[in-house]
Amino acid sequence: MTPTLHELADWLRAELGEQQPLKREGRQTVRRLALALEPADLPPTPAADALFLHRSLRVGERWSGLGVLGVHDGFDLALTTGPNYRLAHALGWRDVRKVVWRGELKGITATPPQDSWTGLRAALHAELGGEDSSWPPAPSPEPLRLALINAMSPGLIEHTADGGVRVYLTGQLRPSAAAAAHARGLSVIALGHRRTEQWGLRRLADELRAAFPGLRTEIHAQAD
C-alpha cells in the first residue's frame, strides 16, 4: 500500500493528536519519506517524495515540490520523555500510570522488569544508545519504581517521590531540581533531549512502514 500525502497526514493526526500535520502540499503519492528532527538535518537534495520534520517552522521555501508533514507537541508527548507508552512497551515496563501535575499530563510512572539500578540503566542504554548523566538511588528495600517525565522541577520531584518513585527519568538535568532529588534519595537519569527525539523518530519511521507497507523511509540526523 503506497500512501498519499493526505493519508499520511490523517495517520499522524490520529496517532499523535496533531490537528494540522500537513504543513505544505506536494506530490500526492509518497513512496519515499525523509524524516528529520529539523530542516538543518536534511541534505540539500533528499531522495524523497515528501518530508517529515519534528520542527518544521523553518523549512521555508526549501525543497520546493516536496510536501511537508510536521508534528511537534504530539511527537514530544508520545515519543520522547512524556507519557511515552511506546517506550514503556519496548522496555517491558509494568503497572504504567499517568503523572498529572497542576492539571497537565507530564509523563508516566512504571515498574521495570529489572530489580537493580544497574540493570535498569543497562536496558535504557541498550534501547536509547546512552545517557547524558545519572546517579543511583539511595539504598532501599523497596522495589524500583520509575517516572518518565518531560520536565524536572522540585515540585515534580516531590510529587513523584511521594508516589513511591525511586528513579526519575527525563531529558535534561535541571540543576535547580537536583538538590530536591538528592534530598529524597531519588536517582536521576538524564537521557538526553536529542537522544530521546532520535529514538522517537526511529519509532515513528517503523510505525509508518508497518501502517503503509509500500512506504520507504529514510532518517536523517546530524551527529551529536
pLDDT band at 221 (very low <50, low <70, confident <90, very high): confident
Average pLDDT of the chain?
95
pLDDT for position 222:
75
- pLDDT above 90 for 53: yes
Domains of the chain, residue spans: 5-71+196-216, 82-190
Tell me, what DSSP letter sits at residue 92?
Answer: T
- Percent with pLDDT over 90 in the chain: 91
**Total-model pTM:** 0.94
Q: Copy the grid coordinates of residue 33.
A: 519519506
* pLDDT for residue 203 is more than 90: yes
User: What is the tally of helices (H) and strands (E) in the chain?
Assistant: 7, 11
Please list, in sequence order, all residues whose beta carbon lies within 8 angstroms of the beta carbon of residue 158, skipping any fewer than 6 positions away: 180, 184
pLDDT beyond 80 at 223: no
Query: Taking Cα atoms as reference points, which of 107, 105, 120 lies closest to residue 81?
Result: 107
Q: How confident is the model at residue 1 (pLDDT cuts 50, 70, 90)?
A: confident
* Cα–Cα distance list, 224 to 164, 170, 171, 190 (Å): 35, 19, 15, 16
Please give the CATH architecture assigned to the domain spanning 82-190.
3-Layer(aba) Sandwich (3.40)
Looking at this protein, which amino acid is placed at residue 8? L
